[in-house]
Amino acid sequence: TARLRTQSAAALVTQGLLMVVLIGTVDYLTGNEFSFFIFYLLPVFMVTLGAGRNMGLGMAAASTGAWLIADILSVGAYSHPMVPYWNAVVRLSFFSIVVILQEAFWRERDIARTDFLTRLNNRKMFYEAASAEIERLKRYGQPFSLAYLDLDNFKKVNDLYGHKAGDNLLKIVSAVIRNNVRRIDIAARLGGDEFAVLLPETGGDAAGAVVTKLKNMLQLAMDRHRWPVTFSIGIATYEVAPLSVDELVSSADDLMYAAKRAGKDRIHRMVKGK
């Protein structure tokens, strides 16, 4: 599901239509004694998940149309000429209900894994993603990195300008992070003014370059609003899998606090190699 959600809507719709044509062709060639009804749901599920409800409804219509054509060509004659069209309406209604329920399920699931203020991933979602990345490292040996960010002097903004300004600052920080990471990266707010960015398949040097660029973009945003905020960041890179997500987070957190103790507004890095 994560891979599907990283693809463009155009790519998913193209793949879905190809699946519909293939399923419809097999449905026609096997005749009306074999039912392929369940298989028409595959492209509907896929497109709804990756491209949203409207595209999913369109794919439901395409699946219904393919089934109708295959059914008419393979059956030939019906007891009444309206029978296949009635069946098509019933199937389209069923597919549409499936799309609506599926979209509602994923929307509620996303809400449960999203920070209410910043709309970044929350701690629960981050821990799930980090756990999956640890397992991927164990299986394939691909290194990954975790950047742990803390806002220096954030309390001063709250004290000087109020909590509304502080909330606005957090939203801007989140937007900058969201716009300056890759689609495969996982950005999360772990609480308060602390953020994390999980960088899959990213070694130490690459992570340093990515995070340095991100830090510069964040600082530009702070300077633009004349907020006295800088960023202390710890980057933990793992070439061997940590024992747990807690160990991973603790390592990056320790590096971040080391950056604070060294004078703030800096990046500290660590690579745990083989």
Region 211-233: mean pLDDT is 96
Helix (H, G, I), strand (E, B) or coil at 100: helix
* pLDDT score of 76 more than 70: no
pLDDT digits (tens, 9 = 90+) for 21-32: 999 999 988 887
Question: Which pLDDT value is given to residue 50?
Answer: 83
pLDDT digits (tens, 9 = 90+) for 112-167: 788 989 999 999 999 999 999 999 999 999 999 999 999 999 999 999 889 999 99
Under a CB-based contact definition with an 8 Å cutoff, are residues 50 and 4 in contact?
yes
**How distant is the alpha carbon of residue 53 from its chain centre?**
17
The DSSP call for residue 263 is T
Rounded CA separation 117/167 (Å): 8
The identity of residue 108, as a single letter, is E
The identity of residue 247, as a single letter, is E
92-100's contacts with Cβ under 8 Å and 24+ in sequence apart are: 92/60, 92/61, 92/64, 95/40, 95/41, 95/44, 95/60, 95/63, 95/64, 96/57, 96/60, 98/41, 98/44, 98/45, 98/60, 99/44, 99/48, 99/53, 99/56, 99/57, 99/60, 100/53
Burial 118-142 (b: 16+ CB within 10 A, else e): bebbbbebbbebbeebbeebeeeee
Question: Which pLDDT value is given to residue 6?
Answer: 66
Beta bridge partners of 234: 148, 268
- Residue 71: phi and psi, rounded to 5, are -70, -45
Rounded CA separation 264/270 (Å): 17
- Say what the pTM is: 0.70
Question: Which pLDDT value is given to residue 2?
Answer: 62
Q: pLDDT averaged over the chain?
A: 91
Judge residue 67's burial from the number of C-beta atoms within 10 Å of its C-beta, 0-12 exposed, 13-18 middle, 19 or more buried. buried
Q: Poorest-confidence range of 6-15, 205-214, 217-226, 265-274?
A: 6-15
Region 30-38: mean pLDDT is 81
Question: Which pLDDT value is given to residue 94?
Answer: 93
Neighbouring C-beta atoms of residue 158, cutoff 10 Å: 15
Question: Which pLDDT value is given to residue 5?
Answer: 66
Question: Which pLDDT value is given to residue 107?
Answer: 76
Per-residue tokens: 48: 């709804």
How far separated are the first and last CA of the chain, in Å rounded? 31
Region 165-189: mean pLDDT is 94
Which positions are annotated as active-site residues? 193
pLDDT digits (tens, 9 = 90+) for 40-66: 999 999 898 888 889 999 999 999 999
